[in-house]
């Protein structure tokens, strides 16, 4: 496993990091609590030190499960990354979308990053996580009702108080990052990035490379599509938000599976799965510091961690890129 610094901070974390959205259940169907705990412990035992979560993931459940796991893991052995700025318990700020909690109750999600809300969210996260500091604290989505400088001033206070070690953002544009940098130094931007979704290469990634900001890539497996396990005719479970997404049309699933078939021989020669090969490609891309990968149980966690040990030669990366250039999605 390779360990990388986040931006110009002292926070160093594993290139493959545990993404804890799925274990919170919300929009993913969840996982058995014991399986989720086993997944976290297996990740750490196999070299993963970063754990990324958010209050919204299960409306606190993901953080609570991580907090339980931390009781038997030395705190300085892991880097906890969590977020703020999505409220389901407060109708304030910018309405985001309607949803349901894990019990099936209707909730409304708002983007809100006002100062007092951030202070409250931080205290709630610290309590759920059972820790007295957060390694990387990230705004989940931009809140257009609150000036960015107000938000970042609150984060700067938390940093000065020792409650967070580094400040990050998620889903920010390059211009939004520039504005935030007027108040404090950002460590990172967490954004969607995969072989088939590379929008950040236009502006965000060049900005981050030029300014020594880390890029934390979420959904590097395109929510399972790049594992090769989703075939034409796949039936998604009730509430699965992938159904109807543009990547999951019959035509695109067929095209992506044809592309993956061309990678299978390379994966086999490395005794790796397609998913491991895709993850290894992701963290080998210029400017990509971390790939977030979810796991519901120990076996998945171990497989993900092993992707961090997979080394790709420059000609192998070029071969993959050449095949990608011929992939046509609708």
Catalogue the active-site residues.
Answer: 57
Name the DSSP class of 194: B
- Its sign, for the CA torsion 177, 183, 188, 189, is negative
Q: Which run of H or of E encompasses 233?
A: none
CA atoms of 176 and 284, how far apart (whole Å): 26
CA atoms of 167 and 194, how far apart (whole Å): 24
CA atoms of 163 and 179, how far apart (whole Å): 23
Give the Cα-Cα-Cα angle 53, 56, 62 (nearest 5 degrees): 45
Neighbours of 12 (CB within 10 A): 13
CA atoms of 299 and 257, how far apart (whole Å): 24
- Are residues 274 and 307 in contact, defined by beta-carbon separation less than 8 angstroms? no
């Amino acid at each position: 496993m390779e360990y990388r610094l986040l931006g110009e901070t002292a926070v160093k974390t594993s290139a493959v990091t545990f993404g804890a959205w799925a274990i919170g259940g919300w929009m993913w169907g969840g996982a058995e609590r014991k399986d989720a705990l086993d997944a976290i412990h297996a990740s750490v035992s196999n070299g993963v030190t970063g754990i990324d979560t958010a209050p919204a993931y299960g409306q606190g459940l993901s953080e609570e499960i991580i907090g339980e796991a931390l009781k038997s893991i030395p705190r300085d052995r892991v880097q906890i990354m969590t977020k703020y700025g999505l409220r389901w318990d407060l109708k304030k700020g910018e309405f985001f979308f309607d949803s349901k909690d894990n019990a099936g109750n209707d909730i409304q999600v708002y983007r809100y990053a006002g100062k007092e809300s951030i202070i409250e969210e931080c205290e709630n996260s610290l309590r759920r996580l059972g820790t007295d500091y957060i390694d990387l604290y990230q705004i989940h989505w931009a809140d257009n009702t609150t000036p960015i400088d107000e938000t970042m001033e609150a984060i700067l206070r938390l940093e000065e108080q020792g409650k967070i070690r580094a400040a990050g953002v998620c889903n920010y544009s390059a211009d939004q990052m520039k504005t935030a940098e007027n108040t404090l130094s950002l460590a990172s931007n967490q954004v969607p990035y995969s072989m088939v979704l590379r929008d950040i290469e236009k502006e965000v990634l060049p900005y981050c490379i030029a300014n020594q900001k880390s890029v934390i890539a979420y959904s590097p497996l395109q929510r399972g599509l790049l594992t090769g396990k989703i075939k034409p005719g796949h039936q998604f479970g009730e509430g699965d938000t992938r159904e109807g997404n543009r990547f999951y049309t019959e035509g695109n699933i067929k095209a992506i599976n044809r592309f993956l078939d061309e990678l299978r021989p390379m994966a086999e020669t490395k005794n790796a799965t397609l998913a491991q090969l895709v993850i290894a490609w992701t963290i080998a891309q210029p400017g990509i510091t971390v790939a977030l990968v979810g796991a519901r149980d120990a076996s998945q966690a171990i497989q993900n961690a092993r992707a961090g040990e997979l080394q790709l030669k420059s000609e192998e990366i070029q071969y993959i890129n050449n095949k990608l250039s011929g992939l046509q999605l609708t």
